[in-house]
Structure 1
Amino acid sequence: MIGVSVTAAESDERARELAAPQALAFLRLRQGRPGKMPTPEETAAHPYTPLERQMIDARLGDQVMGGPDTVRRQMDALIERTGVNEVMVMTQVFDHADRIRSYEIVAGLYDLKTVEPPAVSVL
């Protein structure tokens, strides 16, 4: 079994947009400035240095990310390369609905059943 970070969306471009905030959060953690995940707007407005851009691109390059066809191709290649028979998928995006949609896309690619998430209440 392996664990893999997956961000699936309707298109490759949208998946990259969804994954960008967690990459910026990881960058800040590496810089000794941990905190909450930034919003997509904050992420888009961040004044990246060339080195930060390299670090972000490297972080995103280590993940499975894209539209359905891209995610299926990357997942299949990962499974083939590693020889695993079980994959634990984790999705870290800013919006909960986008996270659920990512899981739905992955589940649909492999004919897996999805279940309704439990109601979430905020105290």
Structure 2
Amino acid sequence: MMNLPESDSEDELPPGWEERVTGDGSVYYANHLTKNTQWTHPRTGKKKVVLGDLPYGWERCIDKSTGKVLYIDHENHRTTYTDPRLAFAVEEKEHINDFRQRFDASSTALHEQTQE
């Protein structure tokens, strides 16, 4: 029997996994079942980063009792251990010129390369 995700989103994390962010904005994944971490998404194998500053009204602090990073939303008077920028994380490009190109069945690029 195949272990299929509960949703159709390949970006959704498997049960027991959590997405976290380092101080420099690199996204990593924590597996609470095995107590391991990794840089690549457990389903897609992609790396992600968060860009830019925290949203307006947010502050990054260290919880003195635990030493963990926490985020304070001063606008809505709440705190969380989850970086609010995670919702907008983007795939990290391996090369500066790295881009995705969809296959187009009408493209003649392959034919032009093979012709002499």
Q: TM-score, normalised by structure 2?
A: 0.18
Question: Greater strand percent: which structure?
Answer: 2
Question: Greater helix percent: which structure?
Answer: 1
Larger Rg: 2
